[in-house]
């Protein structure tokens, strides 16, 4: 299979004259794109957070174990998009049909030799495998193809490392990278020292110049120490976020979280609903740090809308672990807007991949998952026949285009309905001394009856659960 080597064009979708924060961030990101041919690697293996994989010209390799050929090719195209997002140029892709990956070398030995020929013919410096390989598989395959071999997990971690901007995001990515590297230290040491000796593959010293056992042991200890420190730091940042969330809950502002597959248009939807001007990029994992914006329903009620990191098939477990505090904030929202790219070839699989990650996060949380609303985006770009089929399969979903704004008014109405549905009905008599509570009921709820009695104001209303608990003392 041939794959295009064109880098994904990063294009702006904002049309206003003044650059938004997202535009500026995009400019910065594109101006910092990796320059081909320059190595950014550090030699100290423990400097994980600053380290970027040296990915330049790559060949992709995948093992196709189940599903149709179209699925296998879609998976390779996604791997190519990931590689390009990481800044590399994809020269070629190979898929092998097999019951399961080869235990020793991932690809079978015949295919591995063929891969070596492709690498040689194209002059590639890296092979990226579409899966998570064991440290032994990585080393064994490197010995055959004689260039650096990395797996999908390392690639995704590299993209996250490039895109992290906040202190918390950077700490979370570093933690995930270290977790991944710990059992692979020897392999990495070999790859590093081989590169130090010249262009990869130009010498026969593979495996001979790895750091000695003592160095590896020291490195391991230092990495473990840094991981413990990072976990403490992330925990501390989480508590400050918990405080903010508690304040919001006290103030009764309902929270809606946007979740979805990477590149589905989550940030675009946040912009369409709130004019937030956040970064939109045709790249995978453009957003890592959660952005929360105030938004208003048509009836004037306020809510907050959070956009956050996208998910992908086989999201590395190290990342789910490291980003748990960010993800828990999302899964503790009142409503989830699950955004799906309606123009994707396999939207139902995107939906499943996202639900799996959410299940993983929710399982360790006390509260159940919030109610979900499916939002099928990019209807302007979707194939009409596929779209009609999707409408039949997902009758409850809302179909929109963040670009043309088609369906956005309807989406607003549905959000309002969902937030009302989580409200509870109360019948209370609020003493005249608590005029503040009466104002809150009006601001946050929907009042169906209001009379003035001798002791206070009698109100029947639908209010958010937290306000209902404040009102419990005045119930009739
Ligand atoms: N045709 C079309 N393209 C869209 C629409 N919404 C978003 N896009 C494009 O899809 C790409 C991804 O949009 P983003 O909003 O950055 O997607 P995201 O889900 O936030 O992506 P990550 O943060 O990377 O996970 C961009 O190139 C957008 O311009 C839409 O309604 N129609
Ligand atoms: Mg985004």
CATH number, domain containing residue 369: 3.40.50.300
Domain edge (last residue) among 379, 397, 421? 421
CA 369 and chain centroid, separation: 18
Confidence of residue 3 (pLDDT cuts 50, 70, 90): very low
Residue 5 falls inside a structural domain? no
Place of tokens 């140029």: 89
Other Cβ atoms closer than 10 A to 173: 26
Contact 308, 255 (CB under 8 A): no
Q: Give the pLDDT band (50/70/90) at residue 165.
A: confident
| 98 pLDDT more than 50 | yes
Q: What is the CATH number of the domain that holds 110?
A: 3.40.50.11060
Start-to-end C-alpha separation, the chain: 71
294 in a structural domain: yes
Shared domain check, 434 and 406:
no
Same-domain status, 259 and 304: yes
Strand order in the sheet with 126-129: 89-97, 57-64, 126-129, 148-151
Q: Is residue 324 situated within a structural domain?
A: yes
Instruction: Report the pLDDT value the prediction gives residue 346, as an integer from 0 to 100.
Output: 92
Query: Both 294 and 406 in a single domain?
Result: yes
Within this chain, do residues 413 and 437 fall inside the same structural domain, yes or no?
Answer: no
Ligand 1 binding pocket includes 276 (Cβ within 6 Å): no
Tokens linked to 15: 């049309």
Q: Residue 1 falls within a domain, yes or no?
A: no
267 annotated ligand binder: yes
Residue 211 has pLDDT above 90, yes or no: no
Q: Which atom of ligand 1 is nearest to the CA of 284?
A: 24
> What angle, 0 to 180 degrees and rounded to 10, lies between the N-to-C axes of helices 266-274 and 408-421?
90
- Using CA atoms, how far apart are residues 110 and 383, in angstroms rounded to an integer? 40
* Residue 463 pLDDT > 70: yes
Per DSSP bridges, beta strands 302-307 and 398-399 are: unpaired
Please report whether residue 10 resides in a domain.
Answer: no
**337 and 435 within one domain:** no
Q: Output the average pLDDT for the chain.
A: 80
Domain check: are 403 and 440 in the same one?
Answer: no
pLDDT score of 303: 87
- Average pLDDT, stretch 139-156? 91
pLDDT of residue 339: 96
Tokens of 212: 């000695």
Domain count of the chain?
A: 3
User: What residue ranges in 396-445 does DSSP mark as E strands?
Assistant: 398-399, 424-431
Q: Whose CA is nearest to atom 10 of ligand 1?
A: 265
pLDDT of residue 288: 65
- DSSP reduced 3-state for 91: strand
The Cα 48–Cα 318 span in angstroms is 14
394-403 mean pLDDT: 96
Query: Measured in angstroms, how far is the CA atom of residue 91 from the centroid of ligand 2?
Result: 27
387 pLDDT above the threshold of 70: yes
pLDDT number for residue 475: 87
Asked if residue 235 has pLDDT above 60, the reply is yes
pLDDT in tens, 430-446: 999 999 999 999 988 88
Q: Does ligand 1 lie within 6 Å of residue 267's CB atom?
A: yes
Residue 176 domain-assigned? yes
Nearest Cα to Cα of residue 180 among 53, 341, 15, 288: 53
Is the residue at 468 inside a domain?
yes
* Separation of CA 286 and ligand 2 centre (Å): 5
Residue owning the nearest CA to atom 26 of ligand 1? 282
pLDDT at 68: 86
- Last residue within a domain, chosen from 229, 262, 282: 229
pLDDT at residue 43, rounded to an integer: 39
Residue-range definition of the domain harbouring residue 53? 34-229
Q: What is the pLDDT of residues 310-351, one digit of tens each?
A: 888 888 888 888 888 778 878 888 899 999 999 999 999 999
Q: Quote ipTM for the complex.
A: 0.98
Q: What does pTM read for this prediction? A: 0.74
Same domain, 177 and 40: yes
Is 285 annotated to bind ligand?
A: yes
Binning pLDDT at 50, 70 and 90, where does residue 23 land? low
- Residue 247 forms part of a structural domain: no
Residue 86's pLDDT is what? 87
Atom of ligand 1 nearest to the CA of 268: 15
pLDDT at 201 over 50: no
pLDDT of residue 340: 96
Query: Is the model's pLDDT at 369 over the cut of 90?
Result: no
- Label residue 122 exposed, middle or buried (CB < 10 Å: 0-12, 13-18, 19+): middle
Q: Identify whether residues 345 and 285 lie together within a single domain.
A: yes
Task: Clarify whether residues 195 and 257 are in a common domain.
Answer: no
Statement to judge: residues 177 and 321 lie in one domain = no
Residues 398 and 288 in one domain: yes
Top-ranked range on mean pLDDT: pick from 8-17, 245-254, 351-360, 400-409: 400-409
Last residue of a domain, one of 421, 448, 464: 421
Instruction: Mark whether 412 and 428 lie in a shared domain.
Output: no
pLDDT higher than 70, residue 277: no
Report DSSP letters for 269-294, one per residue: HHHHHH-------SSTT---S-EEEE
| Residue 200 in this model has a pLDDT that exceeds 50 | no
Say how many CA atoms lie within 13 Å of 110 toward its Cβ.
Answer: 4
Q: Report which listed range, 31-35, 364-368, 437-441, is most confident.
A: 437-441
């Amino acid at each position: 299979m041939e794959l295009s080597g064109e880098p994904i064009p990063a294009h702006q979708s904002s049309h206003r004259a003044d650059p938004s924060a997202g535009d500026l961030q995009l400019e910065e990101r594109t101006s910092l794109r990796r320059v081909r041919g320059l190595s950014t690697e550090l030699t100290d293996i423990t400097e994980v957070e600053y380290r970027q994989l040296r990915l330049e010209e790559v060949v992709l390799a995948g093992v196709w174990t189940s599903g149709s050929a179209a699925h296998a090719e879609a998976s390779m195209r996604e791997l190519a998009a990931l590689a390009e997002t990481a800044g590399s140029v994809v020269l070629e892709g190979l898929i092998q049909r097999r019951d399961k990956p080869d235990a020793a070398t991932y690809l079978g030995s015949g295919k591995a030799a063929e891969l070596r020929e492709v690498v040689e013919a194209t002059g590639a410096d890296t092979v990226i495998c579409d899966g998570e390989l064991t440290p032994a598989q990585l080393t064994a395959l490197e010995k055959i193809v004689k260039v650096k071999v990395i797996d999908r997990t390392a690639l995704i971690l590299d993209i996250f490392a490039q895109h992290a901007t906040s202190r918390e995001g950077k700490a979370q990515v570093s933690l995930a990278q270290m977790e991944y590297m710990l059992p692979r230290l020897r392999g990495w040491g070999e790859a590093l020292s081989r590169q130090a000796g010249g262009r990869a593959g130009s010498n026969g010293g593979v495996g001979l110049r790895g750091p000695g056992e003592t160095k590896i042991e020291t490195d391991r200890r230092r990495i473990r120490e840094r991981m413990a420190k990072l976990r403490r730091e992330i925990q501390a940042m989480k508590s400050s976020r918990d405080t903010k969330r508690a304040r919001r809950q006290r103030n009764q502002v309902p929270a809606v979280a946007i979740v979805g597959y990477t590149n589905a248009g989550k940030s675009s939807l946040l912009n369409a609903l709130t004019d937030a001007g956040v970064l939109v990029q045709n790249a995978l994992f453009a957003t890592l740090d959660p952005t929360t914006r105030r938004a208003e329903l048509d009836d004037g009620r306020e809510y907050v809308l959070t956009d956050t990191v996208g998910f992908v098939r086989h999201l590395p477990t190290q990342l789910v672990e490291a980003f748990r505090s960010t993800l828990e904030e999302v899964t503790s929202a009142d409503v989830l807007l699950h955004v799906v790219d309606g123009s994707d070839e396999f939207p139902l699989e995107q939906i499943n991949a996202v639900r799996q990650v959410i299940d993983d996060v929710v399982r360790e949380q006390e509260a159940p998952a919030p109610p979900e609303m499916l939002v099928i985006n990019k209807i302007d770009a979707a194939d009409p026949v596929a779209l009609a089929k999707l409408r039949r399969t997902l009758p409850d979903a809302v179909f929109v285009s963040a670009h043309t704004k088609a369906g956005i008014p309807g989406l607003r109405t549905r959000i309002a309905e969902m937030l009302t549905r989580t409200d509870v009905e109360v019948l209370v008599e609020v003493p005249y001394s608590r005029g503040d509570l009466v104002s809150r009921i009006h601001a946050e709820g929907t009042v169906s009856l209001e009379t003035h009695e001798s002791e206070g104001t009698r109100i029947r209303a639908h209010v958010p659960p937290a306000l209902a608990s404040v009102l419990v003392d005045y119930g009739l």
